A = this chain, B = another copy of it.
Amino acid sequence: VSLKENAPAAAHFALADWGTTHLRVWLTDETGHVLGVDESANGMGALKPEQFAGVLEATLNRMGARSDVPVMICGMAGARQGWREAPYADCPIALTELPARAIGFGSHGRAVAIMPGVARRDLARPDVMRGEETQLLGLAIGFGLANGIACMPGTHSKWVRVADGRIADFATAMTGELYAMLTQHSILRHATAASDGGRKPVSGSDPVFLAHVSHALDESGGLARLFSVRAGSLLNGARAEDGRAALSGLLIGAELRGLATLIGARPGPIMIVGSGSLASLYQAALQMAGFQPEICRGEDAVRAGLLAAARLHFTRETTAAKRAAP
């Protein structure tokens, strides 16, 4: 899908969110105004390393970008199995330092840079992120989150403590993947299967969801309660819709409880990066835990982060090049 607006030829930056399953490219002017967008399924998972350059150039040509527009990329394209490995920066790190760590190179004659991921090099709890660091830069520069907690729900939810514009600490919870596995492969699949064909997403106002968030928040036994979803179906004939709400509540509640140390008692602002029903579930769960989170769309956060990164990285490069000139 390519959306061309009136002046792609005036584009100053190309910004690319290049994940495992998707590629999204924006053309913007110098101020970040969007001149064109292109989305495709050309994610890292579908490409060999030698295919990235061609896919990017074809996309930019389709969008009408001039051949000298530089490209800032974040996400799995920078993983070891991606286009070029952009090594992890070590946490803690200032968000505005990250663009300087982006790896720059030329491709089809244009300047390309890939943002680094961030690593928590702790032997007791190592962790990594790749892509979220750019959203965090966007939250800090575009949405005022220089101190607080970013809650980034998904297959692997990231929770990040930001302090004075730095990634102070972060943790990954495999909540989305656990939910998918438990509903597809475990004994809970019967109690959570969609018998009605469609799968209505769980709602953050569902009393079954809220009750199970509460159960998991009240005790450290979130894991020990999972089987109650099966037993509730056996003993009480609980509906699959309620099974999904219960499972979702238990997992998200256990996630919150497990992250109590990272979040802290007075975390400052909490920003959920996401949209739709998943964001509303985390909003409801965080409210139940006594917080007042705000929501920022993931797409908005990553675009703001890529724009900030492009400005910092390419401006510095240009300045350096000018200085180096005789």
A-side residues, CB < 8 A to B, are: 88, 119-121, 123-128, 156, 159, 171-175, 177-178, 181-182, 185-188, 211, 215, 219-228, 231-232, 234-236, 251, 254-255, 257-262
Contacts and interface: CB of A to CB of B under 8 A. Distances in A.
Copies in the complex: 2
Contacts of A123: 232, 236
Contacts of A235: 88, 119, 121, 126, 128
A181 B185 contact: yes
Contacts of A172: 224, 227-228, 231
A259 B224 contact: yes
A227 B173 contact: yes
A222 B220 CA distance: 9
Given A174-B186, A177-B186, A187-B174, A224 B258 contact: yes
Contacts of A185: 181, 185
Given A215-B125, A236-B126, A120 B223 contact: no
Contact of A258 (B127, B159, B219): B219
Contacts of A261: 219, 221
B126 A254 contact: no
B125 A255 contact: no
A119 B127 CA distance: 41
Given A125-B215, A186-B181, A235-B121, A223 B221 contact: no
A106 to B, nearest CB: 28
18 contacts: A119-B235, A123-B232, A123-B236, A126-B228, A126-B231, A126-B235, A172-B224, A172-B228, A173-B224, A175-B223, A178-B178, A178-B223, A181-B186, A185-B185, A219-B258, A220-B257, A223-B251, A223-B254
A89 to B, nearest CB: 12
Nearest to A124: B215
Contacts of A171: 221, 224-225, 227
Nearest to A235: B126
Contacts of A223: 173-175, 178, 222-223, 251, 254-255, 258
Contacts of A128: 231, 234-235
Contacts of A175: 223
Contacts of A222: 223, 258
Nearest to A187: B177
Given A222-B223, A259-B224, A231 B127 contact: yes
A249 B241 CA distance: 33
Given A128-B231, A174-B226, A178-B186, 4 more contacts: A125-B215, A174-B186, A177-B186, A225-B258
A120 B228 CA distance: 10
